[in-house]
Structure 1
């Protein structure tokens, strides 16, 4: 099992380019199952979750060709449906949260879909009801084997309908859209997620011949078609990496340029960092962050403590709340971090408290942070990465701390960040990847 040794206190300097978006990649790669034609995808991040999904698609019978470091061609001419009932398929799916999005395209094209209970981050309950209720409304039959923890759907002739989603789930919306594009008639999805990655998926499907309108809104209308063609698609840069690098620059008092960020697709993220007092400039499609010794958290107009909370797009993505929390530990002022979606995502703060941060965990969803204003540095410690985003938040804390920290379970970080140690070391960080013996 690999771990990081992080020598804190080193400022970064230079340029870094964010990888392709992980969450978009998982949707787009699953969508290649919708057509027997060739689909070429550019800007694919070589991270653990994406590489595992590519290997799974290969095992299912998809022809995969790597055309460049970040470009892959997929051709799902023939899919081995019998393989979906094998132990190998279950094992591969069970370690990958994104595997649930295989069901939508399989159901649309082949009339069946199977997946075990997906794996992924250990951040509390992440229900799948939205996905399967949507499939049922389209006419599919759903079954869950609780003993085997195995989901199956069957629907040879899906029919369009009106549905109001019980939550604006990103993966749920993507899954239902993929199931509906070849359903007979018209499907209307209200309370749909409208994140840029869902928009990207819908636009790609339209280039393949789908007929989706209402893109970028929470009301999608899908007119079913008989078949889809091939296409080419380029993934957006990963907004979570962009936010991570902004927070990292502030915490380490570094000067940094983040290249090619697709600024228009970042939504409220830059404004929220500005409310934390972090200065930056948009220069073309880059974000330039000057070195700043201090940053102060704003208060609300009535003088009350600033609250940063996640919300469906165009609100703040929950994947960045861990970053905002750790950045607040060295800000001037106080902030309440309110994580509404997952009940276990803030539990990593105990490690920040061990490092000397002033954080009060109010309940599983809320934490109050009183910043040190860089007057007191965090202390190095030994810690374990519980999930992708908390892992990078702890990495940022270690990079700003005094002394040498150890971060274990970095496979969680590798699931979402490509060669993060090598890329940051090129900017002046001191991160050593080590392998445990035995």
Structure 2
């Protein structure tokens, strides 16, 4: 098992460029299945989850050409539908939760699809009902085979309809949008997710010839078309990486500039970190964070303890709550972290408590953090990464801690963060791979 060994407690300095957005990539790459024409995508992150999906597309028959380190050309002219039922597909699709995203495009273009029960992070129950209820509304029929572990979906004729989503699921909305763009008639999706990455997908589909209106709102209207053409697309920078680097700078009292962040697409992420007392300055499209010896958590207007919770966009993304929690451990003041969407994402706090953090885990969804105000430094320990976001949070804690830390199961971290050890070394971090 690979591991990172970190000797923390030293300030970092320099510039860092965020990778392309992982969650956008999984949607955009799935959308290449909607046309037989060429699609060029740039700023693709070189990470395991994305590379697995690219490999899966190749196995399905997509012609994939790597033009440069972050740019690929895709052409889905000859798809092998029989591959759906192969053991290879079950193995590869089941290990990647993003594999669910290929169902919508395949239903739209070919009228049928199959998908093994997807994998992904162990962060609690993550149901797929939203996807399948939407497909059913469009006219699809699906059967889950418990023996084989496959969902088999038949959608010989998809027809536009009104769909009220049971939750504002990002992947669910994206999947239903991709199924609806080639359906007969008009589809309205209410309670749709409106994240920037979903907006990016809709804009790309419109460039391909789709007719989608309401982009950026929770009501999308899709007028079905007969076919789509090729296009070019560039992914946004990963907002989760940007938030992670903001937290890293604060925890390690470092002077860091995060380059080319597409600030207008970050929503309330910068303001949320500012409420933790972190100073930052927008320079062009870069975020400059000065070295801070201390930072103080804000309170509500009536003086009560600040609560940071996740919510569908434009609320605060759940993927950054782990980072906020870690950053709060060295702040002045207290904060309640309320993770509403996943019931197991806070269970990594035991590692932080072992490092010296003062955290009360109230229940699976809430944790109260009493900041140490950097008067007591965290201490290095051995630990294991349970999922992508918790893993990076523990990495940030280790970089701020005194002594040596070892983080095992770093494959989880590398599913979402490209060349993270190399990029941290460039800032002056003492990190090596075991």
> Which TM-score band (shorter chain)?
over 0.9
**Structure-2 separation of matches of 1:252 and 1:240:** 18
**Does residue 346 of the first structure (1) align with residue 350 of the second (2)?**
no
**Structure-1 separation of matches of 2:117 and 2:417:** 24
| CA displacement 1:398-427 (0-9 Å, x = unmatched) | 000010000000000000000000000010
**Does residue 55 of the first structure (1) align with residue 80 of the second (2)?**
no
User: Could you tell me how far 1:150 is from its partner in structure 2?
Assistant: 1.4
User: Could you tell me how far 1:91 is from its partner in structure 2?
Assistant: 0.3
Q: Counterpart in 1 of 2:281? A: 281
Q: Counterpart in 2 of 1:21? A: 21
Q: Counterpart in 1 of 2:71? A: 71
**Does residue 189 of the first structure (1) align with residue 189 of the second (2)?**
yes
User: Could you tell me how far 1:11 is from its partner in structure 2?
Assistant: 1.0
* Unaligned runs of at least 5 residues, structure 2: none
User: Could you tell me how far 1:146 is from its partner in structure 2?
Assistant: 2.3
Q: Counterpart in 2 of 1:137? A: 137
Q: Counterpart in 2 of 1:204? A: 204
**Structure-2 separation of matches of 1:157 and 1:380:** 58
Provide the secondary structure at the position in 2 that maps to 1:307.
strand
Q: CA RMSD in A?
A: 0.5
**Structure-2 separation of matches of 1:146 and 1:368:** 41
Q: Counterpart in 2 of 1:304? A: 304
The aligned runs of 1:102-251 (5 Å cut-off) are 102-251=102-251
User: Could you tell me how far 1:357 is from its partner in structure 2?
Assistant: 0.2
Tell me the TM-score normalized by structure 2: 1.00
User: Could you tell me how far 1:145 is from its partner in structure 2?
Assistant: 1.4
Provide the secondary structure at the position in 2 that maps to 1:175.
helix
**Structure-2 separation of matches of 1:211 and 1:307:** 40
Q: Counterpart in 2 of 1:418? A: 418
Q: Which 10-residue stretch deviates more, 245-254 or 6-15?
A: 6-15
**Structure-1 separation of matches of 2:139 and 2:83:** 24
Provide the secondary structure at the position in 1 that maps to 2:83.
helix
**Structure-1 separation of matches of 2:289 and 2:12:** 11
| CA displacement 1:156-195 (0-9 Å, x = unmatched) | 1100000100000000000000000000000000000000
**Structure-2 separation of matches of 1:307 and 1:150:** 41
Q: Counterpart in 2 of 1:430? A: 430
Q: Counterpart in 1 of 2:364? A: 364
The aligned runs of 1:68-107 (5 Å cut-off) are 68-107=68-107
| CA displacement 1:51-87 (0-9 Å, x = unmatched) | 1110110011000000111000000001000011100
Q: Counterpart in 2 of 1:45? A: 45
Q: Counterpart in 2 of 1:384? A: 384
User: Could you tell me how far 1:10 is from its partner in structure 2?
Assistant: 1.6
Provide the secondary structure at the position in 2 that maps to 1:158.
coil
Provide the secondary structure at the position in 2 that maps to 1:73.
strand
**Structure-2 separation of matches of 1:159 and 1:267:** 35
Aligned length: 434
* Unaligned runs of at least 5 residues, structure 1: none
Provide the secondary structure at the position in 1 that maps to 2:100.
helix
Tell me the TM-score normalized by structure 1: 0.99
Provide the secondary structure at the position in 1 that maps to 2:406.
strand
User: Could you tell me how far 1:113 is from its partner in structure 2?
Assistant: 1.2
**Structure-2 separation of matches of 1:369 and 1:8:** 21
Q: Counterpart in 1 of 2:30? A: 30
Provide the secondary structure at the position in 2 that maps to 1:46.
coil
User: Could you tell me how far 1:142 is from its partner in structure 2?
Assistant: 1.2
| CA displacement 1:22-75 (0-9 Å, x = unmatched) | 000000000000000000000000000001110110011000000111000000
**Structure-2 separation of matches of 1:294 and 1:269:** 20
Provide the secondary structure at the position in 2 that maps to 1:303.
coil
Provide the secondary structure at the position in 1 that maps to 2:376.
coil
**Does residue 325 of the first structure (1) align with residue 325 of the second (2)?**
yes
Q: Counterpart in 2 of 1:404? A: 404
Provide the secondary structure at the position in 2 that maps to 1:220.
strand
| CA displacement 1:101-156 (0-9 Å, x = unmatched) | 11000000000111111111000000000000000000000111123321121111
**Structure-1 separation of matches of 2:114 and 2:389:** 28
Provide the secondary structure at the position in 1 that maps to 2:337.
strand
| CA displacement 1:260-280 (0-9 Å, x = unmatched) | 000000000000000000000
**Structure-2 separation of matches of 1:210 and 1:242:** 31
**Does residue 292 of the first structure (1) align with residue 263 of the second (2)?**
no
Provide the secondary structure at the position in 1 that maps to 2:188.
strand
